[in-house]
Structure 1
């Protein structure tokens, strides 16, 4: 217990910041501290446990195995405390609760509308939106930072309970004057000869694209450029940098305007599903249950192409 009683949240915040950013000076700036103060917090933690919690790598500082164990506990505890703070705040506002809704970045094109609809349907519930790529959202499920998640393919780990809310087509898109648009039949060789524009590692869209190309090419190499947002990818494709496989809901407006076109081919579009889910070991609050049930019952009101609200 001596070790536990000696730990402070300031020390844990310092450890978290250094491991997230990879540098003591940048972590200190983020925490509004001096670098010596952050170093002192880390040293106190390591003396308390009698082992190294961070190690220096070519990319900066990273957690050791012991540091990772401590960070996991800290992030889970912090998430629980943040939920308690939100609950107290909502009680003070006369609301019945707060629901934190996490969505993968592909869903950010309709997520704000969904939040507006939810707040209209449940004025007594404070709906908070969190957006991140697939890897980040999965991490938030693990630490309990979010109540509900909207994403494509549910993760294998951590275990979740998921309900389908609608189709999620993925299309091969190109500018309207692209050579592929003039072919009567687009073959796998035609596709593999293109330069692709892809999302960053950790993105579900990137995973889907690479799996599709590996399957049709049986492991053949292909050229690609990496970008960190769907918006940038759409602009790059429209400018002629290459082609991309993107969610049909991500490019809904560009297809309507003719700025981009969908290339038909065998095995395209790739049809997936949207799911709303939560951690399998997470007991949903009554407000979260109400929100989840509404999302499952009303996908046509927020998915692109669905019915509009009068």
Structure 2
């Protein structure tokens, strides 16, 4: 171990230069040193290992001994690793490398994977980790600093966040294609309240939106509210004819195109909310998180245009 402690990169660079250029004088010129300085580095190296690292092949020509060649192999590997480390440090500082955790509410899972895939193509050395949860889970993750960035609807009051609107999030009142209310020119408040209404759990952004809509009808309480734990379950239940529901258009684009779901025509529909990209107010994104934040702002518009068409 004492030999490693005495080993320096100057000595190894001198050995490498003399080996490549076959001359101490040419190696000195390459390294910006005097020939005696290069000779001194080589002498220290050989004294450290108590063996010759070079042997003469001519009046001023040198080649590595087997011991010198073994040391150069190790030096080349170390030099390559250090160059890679320098590259990664620069990439980390510039935001081109690192790990970024992106939390998204479950409604966003219908477009967030495509967004993350594009981020990975544009920033191949940034590891973007996608975490999906309900609104409460995403807010908890922001508060606990588990997420660098988050995608959701209505920004919270707590924890304090900085939020940027990134696109529309229209919500539709939907029913199965063969539902009695489907295809009607207008559906009344009383008719809506007479139907079983499928809704997310309390705390969900979609649940809050649905309750505000039903309350705003000002025609009494719904006949029945059936609580379900996911948008996917609600969607399949509506298709099966179990009731009607308010869902983000992002979650039902394919079903609307295929005709398995229809949007009911009623006043105050669609309800157009916005998607927000946000981060903790006291921790502005920097490095890779800052780069991902800016790329999301640039990438999301065409994704929304496709998913809402």
**Shorter-chain TM-score: which interval?**
0.5 to 0.7
Q: CA RMSD in A?
A: 2.3
Residue 253 and residue 221 in structure 1: after superposition, are their counterparts in 2 closer, same or farther (change >3 A)? Answer: closer
- 2: distance between equivalents of 1:304 and 1:192? 33
Give the Cα–Cα distance (whole angstroms) in 2 for the partners of residues 125 and 182 of structure 1: 48
Name the SS of the counterpart of 1:271 in structure 2. Answer: strand
What's the counterpart of residue 107 of structure 1?
108
The structure with the largest alpha-carbon Rg is 2
Query: What do the CA deviations read for 1:222-256 (whole angstroms, capped 9, x no partner)?
Result: 41111111111111101100001000000011111
User: TM-score, normalising length from structure 2?
Assistant: 0.67
**1:306 positional shift:** 5.3
Output the CA distance in 1 between the equivalents of 2:130 and 2:307: 21
Structure 2 CA distance, aligned partners of 1:203 and 1:293?
Answer: 27
**Matched positions, count:** 219
TM-score of the two chains, using structure 1 as the length reference? 0.66
5+ unaligned residues in a row in structure 1: which ranges?
1-86
Matches within 5 A, 1:236-275: 236-275=237-276
The more displaced of 232-241 and 292-301 is 292-301
CA contact (8 A) 2:195 2:244 kept: yes
SS of equivalent to 2:187: coil
Counterpart of 1:303 in 2: which secondary structure? helix
Structure 2 distance, partners of 1:164, 1:140, is 20
Separation (CA, whole Å) in 2 of partners of 1:215 and 1:306: 29
Asked if structure 2 preserves the Cα contact closer than 8 Å seen for 1:164 and 1:296, the reply is: no
Any unmatched runs of 5+ in structure 2?
1-87
Partner residue, 1:84? none
Question: In the alignment, what sits opposite 2:207?
Answer: 206
1:139-288 superposed matches below 5 A: 139-217=140-218, 220-288=221-289
**Which moved further from structure 2: 282-291 or 215-224?**
215-224
Counterpart for residue 16 of structure 1: none
Q: Which runs of 4+ in 1 moved over 6 A?
A: none
